[in-house]
Amino acid sequence: MPRAVAGRRLRRRSIEASFQVGIAHHLSHRVPDQPRSPFPILCLPSPFLRPSHSLSPRSDQPGSLPVSDRTSSSSAHRAALCTPFHLHLQIPYTMLSAGARAFSALTRPRFTTASTTTLRSPAALRRLLSALAILEQRNGKLNQGSLSAVTAAAKLGGPVHAFVAGSNVKAVAEEAAKVEGVEKIIAVENGAYDKGLPENYAPLLVENIKKGGYTHILASATAFGKNLLPRVSALLDSQQISDITAIESENTFVRPIYAGNAIATVESTDAIKIITVRGTAFAPAAVGSGSASVEDGVDPKAESTTEWVSEDLAKSDRPDLSTAEKVVSGGRGLKSKEEFDKIMLPLADSLGAAVGASRAAVDSGYADNSLQVGQTGKVVAPQLYLAVGISGAIQHLAGMKDSKVIVAINKDPEAPIFQVADVGLVGDLFEKVPELIEKLKSA
């Protein structure tokens, strides 16, 4: 076996062992007076818990996690799927690829207290930090979903500027100037950036980052942000921090890993932090009372390496899946594309909801890839999430488990989706959903 391959396998096994040792130590030796962190660092996937059990602390051993009979609601049980201990791994994020030093840091569990995540004073932060939030626009209209980057940037404590580029960008810049918390809008007027092609957009953004001397660059974890910031990160020689859900300090961030089954606290030592923000973790900044100034940005006008040819969009009056307050999703239990359309579309229209799908449904050709909800699709957190014919694979739960109310319809009473559902209906979806649609129409 090649030495490099053997080393990687040994490292992976050692890392897994260190997780187990750290967890065991924490459960048996936790200091009673140590405050719990609000971030559960290692979450157990649903197969590790039985539906009839929940986790609760024992009075005779503070911090231990025995299993007791389930007495809480299913929503409380959903929260209990993540065990409430905090295993903090102090890893300078730029050292993850640095061989032995990174491995040493990774296998040294350390428990944190409140003092380790204290932010500096507001005055000091304003002198040291400056954040640039990347805003998206389409056809001269500001994408509201990109405003979650502004909310995250404001939590850093320093001044927040926003960047937007494209043709007829003046109207977008004026709208963005009204966003609360933004002090300045950097706008570049050039039709070459209309479609947000990352090969063209990244060099433009880098020039403006260097001019402004920004310490933090943030964008929403949308298709645009995920496509753009890795290129910006490479051009600036900074390691990207992806899909963050919380900010502990100007250098320390929280992000989910392993399909949301664990939460990593990472620390970056790069001078410029490149960050994508999970939209469901940060509410979009409000538009209305802001009064930011608008400034022309630097346009290198470099020769375009890519060209936009065409697009084929399916027009719909339904809400956008990423931002909808109600979502209905179908799974492989619908059996065909025809049945998916026949069942799910009328259900969505009767509720005024967006349509989603599980990966199994997308892979089977029942729904378009743009409708996929899950670890490799869109992450949503609507007020209502209705899952129809979805078993509840952990990859799907990673994309919808933060929904306020989860309703599941499935003929299998043992389906994992019922472990996270607030309301469950066991039955044949081809009978139950049409009945539900009729009741909604007559209500």
Q: Are residues 147 and 286 in the same domain?
A: yes
Domain membership of residue 145 as a residue range:
129-296
Give the pLDDT confidence of 392-435 residue by residue, as tens digits: 999 899 899 889 999 999 999 999 999 999 999 999 999 999 99
Model confidence pLDDT, tens digit, residues 124-145: 555 678 999 999 998 888 888 8
Q: Is residue 75 part of a domain?
A: no
10 Å Cβ neighbour count for 147?
A: 27
E-state strands within 86-183: 88-89, 109-110, 131-134, 137-138, 141-142, 160-166
Tokens at 254, concatenated: 């929280």
Residue 98 within any structural domain of the chain: no
Indicate whether 273 and 151 sit together in one domain.
Answer: yes
Helix (H, G, I), strand (E, B) or coil at 366: coil
Residue 32 domain-assigned (yes or no): no
Integer Cα distance of 338 and 63 in angstroms: 52
How far is it, in rounded angstroms, from Cα 284 to Cα 286?
6
Q: Are 54 and 83 contacting, i.e. CB atoms less than 8 angstroms apart?
A: no
- From the list 228, 181, 224, 185, the residue with the least C-alpha distance to 206 is 228
The enclosing domain of 399 has a CATH number of: 3.40.50.1220
* AA identity, residue 300: P
pTM score, two decimals? 0.67
Q: Are residues 336 and 414 in the same domain?
A: yes
Tens digit of each residue's pLDDT, the chain (443 residues): 444 433 333 343 444 444 444 444 444 444 444 444 333 333 333 333 333 333 333 334 333 333 333 334 445 555 545 433 343 444 444 334 344 334 434 433 333 333 334 455 665 555 678 999 999 998 888 888 899 999 999 999 899 999 999 988 988 999 999 999 999 999 999 988 988 899 999 999 999 999 999 999 999 998 899 999 999 999 999 999 999 999 999 999 999 888 777 899 999 999 999 999 998 899 899 888 888 999 999 999 877 778 888 777 667 778 889 889 999 999 999 999 999 999 999 999 999 999 999 999 999 999 999 899 998 889 899 999 999 999 999 989 989 988 999 999 999 999 999 999 999 999 999 999 999 999 998 87
Q: What is the DSSP string of 291-302?
A: --EEEE-----P
| pLDDT of the residue at 228 | 95
Residue 135 DSSP class: P
Beta strand 252-257 with 262-267 is antiparallel
- Look at the chain and report how many structural domains it folds into: 2
CB neighbours of residue 392 within 10 Å = 24
- Give the span between the Cα atoms of 14 and 75, in whole angstroms: 35
pLDDT of residue 314: 67
Cα-based angle 373, 376, 378 (whole degrees, multiple of 5): 35
Query: Do 343 and 280 sit in the same domain of this protein?
Result: no
- Asked if residue 212 and residue 256 are part of one domain, the reply reads yes
